[in-house]
């Protein structure tokens, strides 16, 4: 099954409230399908600096609400919420409320967390991956129970939610589409089984961004990750939308030089970056050809770029969105 292309913008930063609203409006005007934020909480300092991770200016939930209020048609969401950062019942109510207030434009993104320094800085235990994934699964069960009719009853090793009905209900009976993202075998298998959208990401088990992250997202690793999704999905694989972030999106007439520059930053081979599924480097024509080739090869049809590339990437969106 060949899915039409969709494109999203993910923004971490804004200089003001009006800048944030303008980014959302511009993404909508340029034909992007979704305006995402992320879910990180600490600013510059000794905790964040060693991770090579950027600062996120605004908290996810109110930022999503503001983006929804400033727009009329574009989807809004978070790529992705860390399920360890919130009480599951409070989180489910926040999601349902965002969906209602956005008139059904919410996309729910879920992940089990990875930025160990952030956990430590805000006083949340950084459990081993299996425990964090278990907690994400139980949180997903609470979200779905909140969205459904009848009383919530979810009791697990990490979650207790019983004796009440979830309100409000989302605008659609099935609830908003759910994206689950990650880079490990188990979480991608769960995503294949449970999600509407699967976000193929780096394996960030090192707890920081760097050369190991880039090496975990090469063509061969991406094919393996899709195999994990397929194994988890079984007969429903064709119902899943595959998403990937183009962390390295550079519109240029000199792709070789751009790839060499990026490779130097991440101690990588420029030849690997040219074919890297998380990289889109070249002219508009070259990038469009790359996306069509990769959709044929991997089945990936949903592409996310940073707000830094919002304008320069717009000609690609104009040409391929919905195709």
What is residue 210's predicted lDDT score, i.e. its pLDDT? Answer: 66
Per-residue confidence band for 223, with pLDDT thresholds at 50, 70 and 90: very high
User: Is pLDDT larger for residue 213 or for residue 59?
Assistant: 59
- DSSP state for residue 259 in the 8-state scheme: H
pLDDT tens sequence across 123-150: 999 999 999 999 999 999 999 999 999 9
What is the Cα–Cα distance from 314 to 317, expressed in whole angstroms? 5
What is residue 67's predicted lDDT score, i.e. its pLDDT? Answer: 98
Q: What is the mean pLDDT of residues 9-30?
A: 98
User: Is pLDDT larger for residue 109 or for residue 273?
Assistant: 109
- Residue 226 scores a pLDDT above 90: yes
Contacts of 108 (CB under 8 A, 6+ apart): 77, 78, 81, 95, 143, 175, 176, 177, 178, 179
What is residue 272's predicted lDDT score, i.e. its pLDDT? Answer: 78
What is the Cα–Cα distance from 309 to 280, expressed in whole angstroms? 11
Q: What is the mean pLDDT of residues 4-18?
A: 97
CATH topology of domain 6-320: TIM Barrel (3.20.20)
Round the average pLDDT of the chain to a whole number and report it.
95
pLDDT tens sequence across 66-94: 999 999 999 999 999 999 999 999 999 99
- Residue 208 scores a pLDDT above 70: no
Count, residues in the chain: 323
Can you tell me which residue has the tokens 């804004």? 14
pLDDT tens sequence across 247-264: 999 999 999 898 888 877
Reading the block at residue 144, the tokens are 């779905």
Can you tell me which residue has the tokens 């905790």? 47
pLDDT tens sequence across 278-299: 999 999 999 999 999 999 999 9
User: Is pLDDT larger for residue 214 or for residue 173?
Assistant: 173
What is residue 273's predicted lDDT score, i.e. its pLDDT? Answer: 81
pLDDT tens sequence across 151-207: 999 999 999 999 999 999 999 999 999 999 999 999 999 999 999 999 999 877 666
Q: Which of 107-116, 126-135, 191-200, 211-220 has the lowest mean pLDDT?
A: 211-220
CB of 241 within 8 A of CB of 181? no
What is residue 102's predicted lDDT score, i.e. its pLDDT? Answer: 98
Using CB atoms within 10 Å of the CB of residue 320, give its burial: 0 to 12 exposed, 13 to 18 middle, 19+ buried.
buried
Contacts of 190 (CB under 8 A, 6+ apart): 133, 136, 137, 180, 232
What is the Cα–Cα distance from 226 to 101, expressed in whole angstroms? 34
Q: Are strands 151-155 and 160-165 parallel, antiparallel or unpaired?
A: antiparallel
The percentage of the chain sitting over the pLDDT mark of 70, rounded to a whole number, equals 98
Kindly provide the residue ranges of all beta strands, DSSP E only, lying in the chain, ordered along the sequence.
6-10, 34-37, 75-78, 81-82, 106-111, 151-155, 160-165, 178-182, 197-200, 241-245, 248-251, 279-282, 300-306
What is residue 297's predicted lDDT score, i.e. its pLDDT? Answer: 97
Phi-psi region of 292 (alpha: psi -120 to 50; beta: other; left: phi over 0): alpha
What is the Cα–Cα distance from 143 to 240, expressed in whole angstroms? 19
CB of 307 within 8 A of CB of 23? yes
CB of 9 within 8 A of CB of 22? no
């Amino acid at each position: 099954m060949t899915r039409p292309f969709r494109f999203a913008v993910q923004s971490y930063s804004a200089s003001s409230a009006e800048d944030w609203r303008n980014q959302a409006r511009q993404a909508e005007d340029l034909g992007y399908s979704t305006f995402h934020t992320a879910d990180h909480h600490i600013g510059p300092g000794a905790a964040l600096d060693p991770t090579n991770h950027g600062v996120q200016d605004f908290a996810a939930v109110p930022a999503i609400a503001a983006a929804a209020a400033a727009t009329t048609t574009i989807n809004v969401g978070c790529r992705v919420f860390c399920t360890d950062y919130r009480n599951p019942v409070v989180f489910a109510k926040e999601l349902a409320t965002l969906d209602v207030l956005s008139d059904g434009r919410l996309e729910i993104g879920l992940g089990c967390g990875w930025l160990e320094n952030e956990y430590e800085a805000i006083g949340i235990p950084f459990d081993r991956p299996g425990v964090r994934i278990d907690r994400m699964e139980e949180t997903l069960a609470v979200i779905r129970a909140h969205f459904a009719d009848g009383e919530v009853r979810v009791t697990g090793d990490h979650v207790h939610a019983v004796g009440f009905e979830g309100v409000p209900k989302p605008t659609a009976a099935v609830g908003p589409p759910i994206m689950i993202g990650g880079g490990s075998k188990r979480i991608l298998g769960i995503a294949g089984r449970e999600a509407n959208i699967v976000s193929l990401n780096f394996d960030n088990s090192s707890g920081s961004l760097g050369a190991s992250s880039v090496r975990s997202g090469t063509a061969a690793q991406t094919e393996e990750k899709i195999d994990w999704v397929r194994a988890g999905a079984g007969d429903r694989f064709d119902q899943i939308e595959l998403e990937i972030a183009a962390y390295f999106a550079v519109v240029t007439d000199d792709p070789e030089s751009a790839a060499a520059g990026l490779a130097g930053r991440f101690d990588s081979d420029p030849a690997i970056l040219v074919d890297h599924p998380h990289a889109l480097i070249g002219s508009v024509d070259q990038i469009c050809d790359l996306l069509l080739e990769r959709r044929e090869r991997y089945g990936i049809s949903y592409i996310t770029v940073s707000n830094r590339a919002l304008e320069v990437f717009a000609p690609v969106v104009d040409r391929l969105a919905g195709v």
